[in-house]
């Protein structure tokens, strides 16, 4: 829950400017941009994500470093599992395991 996961904005929804498709290590999920409404990111920007909400914009270099930090902390799998779970994409029983 306290993980900050870096992701790259691929596409901002045409019908909802607060919803974006974000790429996290090759996985694409919808992320909420509502907390960045004072400084809205655009496609191609990198963001740090907490529990499905982009919380801050960061540089690409820092995004790559953040992923490395998560790996060093042994948290990268948990991060990937979290992102995979956004949008209730997996059956619940698998998530609980």
Partner 1 sequence: MKYVDEFRDPELITKAAEEIKRLAEPKKHYRLMEVCGGHTHAIYRFGLKDVLPPNIELIHGPGCPVCVLPMGRIDDALSISADPHVIFAAFGDMMRVPGTNGSPLEHKARGMDVRIVYSPSDAIKLAKMNPQKHVLFFAIGFETTAPSTALTLMRAKSEGLHNFSVFCNHVTIIPAIRAILDSPDMRLDGFIGPGHVSTVIGCRPYEWIAKNERKPIVVCGFEPLDLLQSIVMLLTQLQKGEAKVENQYKRVVPWEGNRAALRAMAETFQLRPYFEWRGLGFISQSALRIRDEYAEWDSEQRFHIPGIRVTDPKAAQCGEVLKGVLKPAQCKLFGKECTPENPVGALMVSSEGSCAAYYNYEHRKAALVANIGSAA
Q: Which residues bind partner 1 (CB under 8 A)?
A: 1-2, 4, 32, 34-38, 48, 50-53, 55-56, 58-59, 62, 65, 68-69, 72-74, 81-83, 85-88, 92, 95-96
Rounded Cα gap, residues 2 and 14, in angstroms: 30
CB of 14: closest distance to partner 1 in angstroms? Answer: 19
Least distance between partner 1 and beta carbon 43 (Å): 20
Q: Rounded distance, CA 90 to CA 63, Å?
A: 26
**Nearest approach, Cβ of residue 56 and partner 1 (Å):** 5
Q: Which of 48, 56, 46, 54 is nearest to 17 (CA)?
A: 54
Both structure tokens of 36: 């960045």
């Amino acid at each position: 829950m306290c993980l900050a996961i870096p992701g790259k904005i691929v596409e901002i929804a045409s019908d909802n400017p607060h919803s974006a498709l974000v790429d996290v290590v090759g996985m694409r999920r919808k992320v909420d941009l509502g907390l960045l409404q004072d400084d809205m990111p655009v496609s191609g920007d990198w963001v740090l994500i907490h529990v499905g909400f982009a919380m801050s914009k960061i540089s690409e270099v820092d995004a790559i470093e953040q992923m490395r930090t998560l790996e060093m902390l042994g948290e990268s799998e948990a991060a990937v599992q979290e992102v995979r779970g956004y949008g209730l994409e997996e059956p619940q029983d698998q998530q609980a395991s």
